[in-house]
Structure 1
Amino acid sequence: MPMDIRKAQGLHVVIGSAMIISYCVYMDPFLIFSNHVNNAAGVVHMVVKNTNTTHTILWWNLPEWLVRFPKKCGNCYVTTHKSVFDKSSAVVFSLANSNIGTHPPVEKINRNLNQIWIAFSLETNVANSWNREYRNKHWSYVFNWTWNYRPSADIYMQPGRVSERLKPLSKNYSLIFQRKKRFAAWAVSHCNAHSLRDKFVKNMRLYLKNKSIDIFGKCGPLKASKSEMPDLLNNDYKFYLAFENAFCDDYVTEKVFANYNNDIINVVRGKANYTKIFPEGSFINTNDYRNIYDLIRHMIEVSENETLYSSYLIQKDRVQVWYNREEEYRLSICDICRKLNDPYLAKKYIADTEKELGQCMKPSDI
């Protein structure tokens, strides 16, 4: 090989090594836990430290519940001031909120070509059905990224996180079983949901003789505060009905996560693949039964068999669940920041934002 070629190759190796070292020093890693139980070690996301470049993330129509959440990550700052629209690196539009407009704020020809537009929604198309604005044809091929509850999203905001415990919990499961005298609880305030869960619970009750499903919230006669519910579930009830308000692709809300660490068996109902999130044998899925009668028969069997009931709790206690919406939001902002700082950022235009949120269906087992 000629000497000048070998020298050139050697120079490339030195430069490449220097770039890698600089990159590692330049980046600030933080660890986030995987949503998969078998990946408890987590994945490392890299966020660029403060540099001479500042990225502004503009919320076009910020949901009210996000007002108090973090406004900074690395060299990225979050604002709601539309006066910085032209200079913003990213603009976030909340699909579930009003004031998005039937038309984009500027024509595509007048748009900042270096700007990323993000479609945000933690609700399904069913929940967003009242807002027709983002379904307007003028929003086609406008958004560059999605930010939602689906793992396929560009910015994936999880409803909660699961990681395997280094040491499984040790409890007196016999005592837990013995102290629970009530069958099932359901806390619900969204009545007559698209998923027909009200009708499903009504049908469940038809097969219960000396057992009951106690309904708390606006859709039932019983009342309990958020602070009171954990004690009720831990001490009194054997099952909690964690039923989704809509059957949509990948849609899992905080219902399961919020109660998972309690000494109770969650009965889930939705279109998501729950075994990809929680350990198999740690919950009961209504979709695994031919009909409601078979479901109730199994629940009664579990409720009356200490060994069987305890097996669910033991499986559940293999993992720990975190549910913190503010932290999930912070991680999402940092994910946006990481992508904005990526020199090889790929840009795309989304044809149908509604389609990106996944398909919804009426259940067929009622």
Structure 2
Amino acid sequence: MRRPKISLKKYFYFTLICALLLIFVFNLKESELWKMRSSRSSQISTQQQQHHQHLHQLQSMDEDHPVATSSTPAPVAATLLPEVADNLVEEPEQAALEEEEMEADRLQEPPVEKAWFFKNGEYYPKPARTYSNRKARKRHAPRLLPHQDPYSDRIVNQLMYVPHNYEEIKSSGKLKTILLYNGLGPWNVKKGRDVFLKAKCPVDTCELTANRDLASSADMILYKDHYIPTGIRRPNNSKQVSMLYYLECPYHTQNVKVPDAINWTATYRRDSTIVAPYEKWQYYDTKVQQLEQDVNYSVNKTKKVAWFVSNCGARNGRLQYAHELQKHIEVDIYGACGNFKCSRSTADKCFEILDNDYKFYLAFENSNCKDYITEKFFVNALNRRVLPIVMGARPEDYEVSAPRRSYIHVDEFASPKELAEYLHILDADDELYNSYFKWKGTGEFVNTYYWCRVCATLHNEEQLRKPRWYTDLNDWWRGPGVCTTRSWRNFKARKDVISDSSDD
């Protein structure tokens, strides 16, 4: 029996009807989903609107009653929602909670005036706020220590840190005791709170002592340049901090072989616990790093390169580099290593000559070590009207420590001859030369208030509960990759031979 034939016309209409039915069903489901989403969004929006009104009321209350502003609005706002385990928080509650935290953070944003550590700075930090949500507490934890922010020196974070319960700490009268184990003399400070109060530290509830009888009870034992074992066994649960301070580079410092003896460091290195640089540049606004200048820094300058130096045997070969550079451009070397004289007793006159006559200055360190940038660069060069040519730390170290486009690094060039060729170009082009001074006026070299930061960081109880120790301090301080006797361009990590040599 043959099947009836279906015409193409009927087949077309049948397919069209099926397609229309599918579209209708799909639109119906989408409509239902949209209603559900709209209902949820409305619920969240209502909660957030009520929360904003509550926050505004709290802020108004604080403005009307200044006596109550010793504790900021943010911690108060954090108590509006109940504590709930992260994995039990419903989506609308989570959204409202995060919105609350964001709003509280906005309320705590500092005003436009300069922070207290700038010259004429007036803004002082308020106590850190607390968070009701565990993830938020972790996300907003103050980044004070190297493992929390390995790409920053964290100096500003430490300068602006005040513990959330600082009012209670001050009311209790309890002080953090810092034992200077090498004595008060090397630090040129007085015992007690004098150094913290005179500096007007945001956190000043600390005291200095040189009494070694307090070695077992002090909150911190601080060594300057030389570690001396206390002979006291440290309890496993002890929160006591042991910190070693080094000013010089690894070539001129003690070799500490005792494992687990030190858990904090204070050096010029950016990965130290308390970074103690020779100078600290800070922008007023990180978005403004270059400004047009109304000064021609090359005017009336007839000489090319100058260098003030007295140590002719530096291990990084800086003198040999300068002599090679002399073959291709004029380099006047002042001091024991050159033919020009300018006494240190008349330093101002020497720098006046530098400002008025020379376009370039060799800010060469005596050692090529990670982050090792001293006053040779910051004071002798950047504070003058001259363009520094640098040798010492790695190019990337200068990049994060110096004002943008304020220097020339020797490792940017394959040889002294290539560097000299570029200096001749700069010498002939005033506009290009002056482009290296556009950083002026965008910030300033700030006081890093070492003691204030030590005291503030010592109050970070969260980190004291999780102590970290250097299992091999010597390897961290002078291990592979830290120093080299050659150019960083051709550097391969190895352990340099450490020996004594004269400075500058």
Shorter-chain TM range is: 0.7 to 0.9
Letter in 1 for 2:261: V
Matches within 5 A, 1:5-84: 12=83, 31-32=116-117, 43=157, 45-47=160-162, 50=170, 51-61=172-182, 66-68=187-189, 71-72=195-196, 73=201, 74-84=204-214
Residue in 1 aligned with 2:233?
Answer: 108
Residues 162 and 126 of structure 1: is their aligned pair in 2 closer, same or farther, counting only changes over 3 Å? same
Deviation at 1:299, TM superposition (A): 1.3
Letter in 2 for 1:290: A
Residue in 2 aligned with 1:222?
Answer: 341
Residue in 1 aligned with 2:216?
Answer: 86
1:46 is paired with a residue whose SS is coil
Deviation at 1:296, TM superposition (A): 1.2
Q: Does 1:351 align with 2:476?
A: no
Q: Distance in 2 between matches of 1:313 and 1:188?
A: 24
Q: Is the 8 A contact 2:265 2:273 kept in 1?
A: yes
The Cα RMSD (Å) is 3.5
Letter in 2 for 1:46: Y
Identify the range of structure 1 (282-291 vs 270-279) with the bigger mean alpha-carbon deviation.
270-279
Residues 150 and 81 of structure 1: is their aligned pair in 2 closer, same or farther, counting only changes over 3 Å? same
Residue in 2 aligned with 1:281?
Answer: 405
Deviation at 1:111, TM superposition (A): 9.1
Q: Does 1:269 align with 2:384?
A: no
Q: Does 1:196 align with 2:313?
A: no
Residue in 2 aligned with 1:307?
Answer: 431
Q: TM-score, normalised by structure 2?
A: 0.56
Letter in 2 for 1:270: G
Residue in 2 aligned with 1:342?
Answer: 460
Deviation at 1:90, TM superposition (A): 0.5
Residues 122 and 82 of structure 1: is their aligned pair in 2 closer, same or farther, counting only changes over 3 Å? same
Residues 308 and 90 of structure 1: is their aligned pair in 2 closer, same or farther, counting only changes over 3 Å? same
Q: Does 1:125 align with 2:250?
A: yes
Deviation at 1:245, TM superposition (A): 1.3
Deviation at 1:283, TM superposition (A): 1.4
Q: Deviations over 1:8-57 (max 9, x none)?
A: 996649xx99xxx9xx99xxxx6557xxxx99xx6562245645211121
Q: Does 1:162 align with 2:281?
A: yes
Return the structure number with greater relative CO, CA threshold 8 A, min gap 6. 1
Residue in 1 aligned with 2:134?
Answer: none
Deviation at 1:202, TM superposition (A): 1.8
Residue in 1 aligned with 2:272?
Answer: 153
Q: Is the 8 A contact 1:150 1:357 kept in 2?
A: no
Deviation at 1:319, TM superposition (A): 3.4
Q: Is the 8 A contact 2:274 2:453 kept in 1?
A: yes
Q: Distance in 2 between matches of 1:112 and 1:93?
A: 22
Q: Distance in 2 between matches of 1:193 and 1:360?
A: 13
Q: Distance in 1 between matches of 2:231 and 2:271?
A: 28
Residues 109 and 177 of structure 1: is their aligned pair in 2 closer, same or farther, counting only changes over 3 Å? closer
Q: 2:260 aligns with which of 141, 160, 170?
A: 141
Residues 105 and 284 of structure 1: is their aligned pair in 2 closer, same or farther, counting only changes over 3 Å? same
Q: Distance in 2 between matches of 1:227 and 1:68?
A: 29
1:87 is paired with a residue whose SS is coil
1:56 is paired with a residue whose SS is strand
Q: Distance in 1 between matches of 2:234 and 2:385?
A: 57
Q: Distance in 1 between matches of 2:311 and 2:417?
A: 25
Deviation at 1:196, TM superposition (A): 1.5
Q: Deviations over 1:117-176 (max 9, x none)?
A: 002112221122xx44x2x3xx21111111111221111112222233668363331xx3
Q: Deviations over 1:64-91 (max 9, x none)?
A: 6631597325011223333433332111
Deviation at 1:278, TM superposition (A): 2.9
Deviation at 1:187, TM superposition (A): 2.0
Which sections of structure 1, spanning at least 5 residues, go unmatched? 1-7
Q: Distance in 1 between matches of 2:469 and 2:270?
A: 19
Q: Is the 8 A contact 1:119 1:353 kept in 2?
A: no
Residues 170 and 115 of structure 1: is their aligned pair in 2 closer, same or farther, counting only changes over 3 Å? same
1:268 is paired with a residue whose SS is strand
Letter in 1 for 2:223: F
Letter in 2 for 1:278: A
Q: Is the 8 A contact 2:318 2:364 kept in 1?
A: yes
Q: Deviations over 1:192-213 (max 9, x none)?
A: 11212122112212223xx232
Of Structure 1 and Structure 2, the greater strand share is in: 1
Of Structure 1 and Structure 2, the greater helix share is in: 2
Q: Distance in 2 between matches of 1:153 and 1:205?
A: 38
Residues 118 and 187 of structure 1: is their aligned pair in 2 closer, same or farther, counting only changes over 3 Å? same
Q: Is the 8 A contact 1:257 1:321 kept in 2?
A: no
Deviation at 1:337, TM superposition (A): 1.3
Q: Distance in 2 between matches of 1:162 and 1:109?
A: 39
1:267 is paired with a residue whose SS is strand
Q: Distance in 2 between matches of 1:53 and 1:363?
A: 51
Identity of aligned residues (%): 22
Q: Distance in 2 between matches of 1:303 and 1:10?
A: 65
Q: Distance in 2 between matches of 1:196 and 1:81?
A: 45
Q: Distance in 2 between matches of 1:140 and 1:112?
A: 18
Letter in 1 for 2:266: W
Size of the alignment, in residue pairs?
320
Q: Is the 8 A contact 1:32 1:45 kept in 2?
A: no
Deviation at 1:281, TM superposition (A): 3.3
Q: Does 1:317 align with 2:440?
A: yes
Residue in 2 aligned with 1:4?
Answer: none
Q: TM-score, normalised by structure 1?
A: 0.75
Which sections of structure 2, spanning at least 5 residues, go unmatched? 1-78, 85-96, 109-114, 119-151, 491-504
Q: Is the 8 A contact 1:195 1:246 kept in 2?
A: yes
Deviation at 1:239, TM superposition (A): 0.7
Q: Deviations over 1:281-332 (max 9, x none)?
A: 3211100001111011111221232222222223x32534416xxx33xx22
